[in-house]
Amino acid sequence: MCGIIGYVGNEECAPILLDGLRRLEYRGYDSAGVAVHDGQELRVLRAAGKLTALGDALGRNPVHGATGIGHTRWATHGKPSEHNAHPHVSGNVAVVHNGIIENHVELKTELKASGRVFKSDTDTEIVAHLIDLALGRGLELFEAVRETLKVLRGAYAIAVLSKDDPSRIILAKNASPLVLGVGDGVMLAASDVPALLSHTRDVIFLEDGDLAEIRREGAKIVRVDGGPVERPVTRITWSLMQAERGGFKHFMLKEIHEQPRAIEDTLRGRVNLDEGGLEAGEMGLDAETAKKIRRVVFLACGTSYHAALHGRYLLESLARVEAVAELASEFRYRDPVVGEGDLVVAVSQSGETADTLAAAKEARERGARVLAVVNVQGSAIARAAHGTLYTHAGPEIGVASTKCFTAQQAALTMLAIHVGRSRGALSVEKGRALLQELVEVPAKMRETLAGARHVEGIARSIVHARDALFLGRGLSAAVALEGALKLKEISYIHAEGYAGGEMKHGPLALVDRDMPVVCLLPSDSTLEKMLSNVQEVRARDGVVIAVLDEPSVARDIAAHTIVVPRAAEAVSPLVTSVPLQLLSYYVADHRGTDVDQPRNLAKTVTVE
């Protein structure tokens, strides 16, 4: 989704804006622009395509000034083009916006009827016109923005810069992220923290309904429909280095290799091996509360949904509590039965996914207790929940989720152990043994990562495949779904994930000698059945790529084997996920796709 940056300070801001936008590239975008106050005028430059195009435009037409706003646009209304790129200007104001104005059609009709001329196809330009009109009625800028917000419906984070006042930027937030950076004699604003870290680690997360003004000296924050409000300053512990590529060709590869650390960080300070349980006060889920849970409902989208399937399986098997996993994008549109007694677990890397956020809020309104399993501190889903279980994977920049996925699997395994222990479904010994297995996962991941070159060799052999299948059973069925999603999203090869037992109910018809079939064969309770499914594939000449911990198991049926260290059934998906990520990565890299920013996709999906 779009990225916003704003700067008011003492330095030339154009390079600062450009750098901030680069750090927001992971959100996905198709055009970019800046507006800089040069002391007299607003200088606006925009370009379609990547930030290099905007950089080139700035090279040809340098702009000077110490107050400015910038934007990367991910098209929702109007195609990706220079004329639809932000900032949009009306009269003396320039506006950048992330989100969607839902009532844009009626507002635009009214504005056109009153003689306003539009230069773009965007919903955002409406905002610029409305502010300009309010200024024309004699309101000063801050109040003009406030008046404008009152007529907008939908999701927005906006930043406004006026030709009449270079000393400040006005900002507002509703359902799209916006965070302020507090420096020494400098203030910034951005859609996400990495854009601020070169300047400051002290940030203020704005809340929905906040209207703010930043000047060099500091920030003023009010409620759109009320008075001043205090928002705490949060010190961010992520280093800028953590948000950079660190020597790897792509962020995705770096993030795949960061998984052992991500799991260690997620477990850190929480695992109590003596008690066979967890220290996780932040969850707001003490033993008494856990005992009263009637049902657990996992809500998530995409990769996070696949982690939710892992959680669902373990909540049932380890905690003996009814559990379901639902796509958040479906859940809220079908009048779900959810309420008191339900624990709703909203799983999201970004913590900003619009569907997951809305579904979690709806469940909370209906009386459910909401637990957010998110990676971004202070994100919208975290704020909407009763409790949080953060995955401490660090910033994930590649659009394809990798380390956040396995960190989610780890967090949800901990949750299942915690609920199981609290309800008496798990003994101390069993809890301890499972936690010990979790603690050993990072070492097993490291061992698996050491075999990356072998996986690359297999990837080369399927680089020209048109389709691929991924099969697993039990917990590995979710790994198969995730493996297929990874391959399709970054390599653009059509891929499907299936529970192995479903093969003979349809997909087997697809199998021939051109079909790579990745089979998950860890030594667990499903192995024997899975082997029968693999035989069915082999009998149709399918190219079996076996992921297993016992090489002899697939000796006669696999064209390729990837051997991983053996792990207990509950945690083996954390290990077997790793070679599947590597396989997708190398296939995509050899096909020459834009691995970190696959076409048509965005890192943070803040529209429904």
Judged by the rule CB under 6 A, the positions of this chain that interact with ligand M6R are 301-304, 348-350, 353, 356, 399-401, 485, 489, 604-605
166 or 177: whose CB is closer to ligand M6R?
A: 177
Query: How far is the C-alpha of 183 from the C-alpha of 8, rounded, in Å?
Result: 10
CB of 116 to ligand M6R, least distance (A): 36
Query: How far is the C-alpha of 564 from the C-alpha of 111, rounded, in Å?
Result: 63
237 half-sphere exposure, CB direction, 13 A CA radius: 6
Instruction: Name the 3-class secondary structure at 212.
Output: strand
CB of 589 to ligand M6R, least distance (A): 16
**Active-site residue, from 108, 486, 488, 603:** 603
342 or 396: whose CB is closer to ligand M6R?
A: 396
159 or 307: whose CB is closer to ligand M6R?
A: 307
The yes-or-no answer on residue 173 being catalytic is no
Query: How far is the C-alpha of 312 from the C-alpha of 475, rounded, in Å?
Result: 10
Radius of gyration in angstroms for the set of CA atoms belonging to the chain, rounded to a whole number:
25
* Encoded tokens for 600: 């048509």
Instruction: Name the 3-class secondary structure at 79.
Output: coil
172 or 382: whose CB is closer to ligand M6R?
A: 382
CB of 308 to ligand M6R, least distance (A): 10
CB of 304 to ligand M6R, least distance (A): 4
Query: How far is the C-alpha of 109 from the C-alpha of 391, rounded, in Å?
Result: 45
CB of 214 to ligand M6R, least distance (A): 27
CB of 479 to ligand M6R, least distance (A): 14
Tell how far CA 360 is from the center of its chain. Answer: 16
* Residues pairing with 101 in the sheet: 154
How many CB atoms lie under 10 A from the CB of residue 348?
A: 35
CB of 172 to ligand M6R, least distance (A): 23
The region that residue 496 occupies, defined by phi over 0 for left and psi between -120 and 50 for alpha, beta otherwise, is beta
* Encoded tokens for 8: 């008011």
Instruction: Name the 3-class secondary structure at 555.
Output: coil
| Strand stretches in 492-537, DSSP E | 494-499, 516-521
Angle formed by the axes of helices 124-136 and 141-151, nearest 10°: 130
CB of 491 to ligand M6R, least distance (A): 12
Measure the CA dihedral 391/397/403/408, to 10°.
40
131 or 357: whose CB is closer to ligand M6R?
A: 357
379 or 572: whose CB is closer to ligand M6R?
A: 379
**Active-site residue, from 2, 301, 404, 519:** 2
CB of 93 to ligand M6R, least distance (A): 32
Tell how far CA 363 is from the center of its chain. Answer: 21
Name the one residue in this structure whose structure tokens are 């996993």.
Answer: 325
Q: Which among 30, 139, 46, 29 is positioned nearest to 94, based on CA atoms?
A: 46
Residue nearest to ligand M6R (CB): 302
Question: Which residues in 421-453 are b (16+ Cβ under 10 Å) and which e?
Answer: bbbebbeeeebbebbebbeebbebbeebbeebe
Burial class for 98, CB neighbours closer than 10 Å (0-12, 13-18, 19+): buried
The yes-or-no answer on residue 2 being catalytic is yes
153 or 494: whose CB is closer to ligand M6R?
A: 494
DSSP letter at 18 equals H
Polymer length in residues for the chain: 608
Question: Which residues are CB-neighbours of 15 under 8 A, at least 6 positions away?
Answer: none
Question: Which residues are CB-neighbours of 51 under 8 A, at least 6 positions away?
Answer: 18, 21, 22, 25, 32, 72
CB of 470 to ligand M6R, least distance (A): 14
* Residues pairing with 211 in the sheet: 172, 222
143 or 608: whose CB is closer to ligand M6R?
A: 608
Name the one residue in this structure whose structure tokens are 């000393």.
Answer: 167
210 or 489: whose CB is closer to ligand M6R?
A: 489
Q: Which among 39, 43, 12, 3 is positioned nearest to 186, based on CA atoms?
A: 12
98 or 304: whose CB is closer to ligand M6R?
A: 304
Write out the catalytic residue numbers: 2, 603
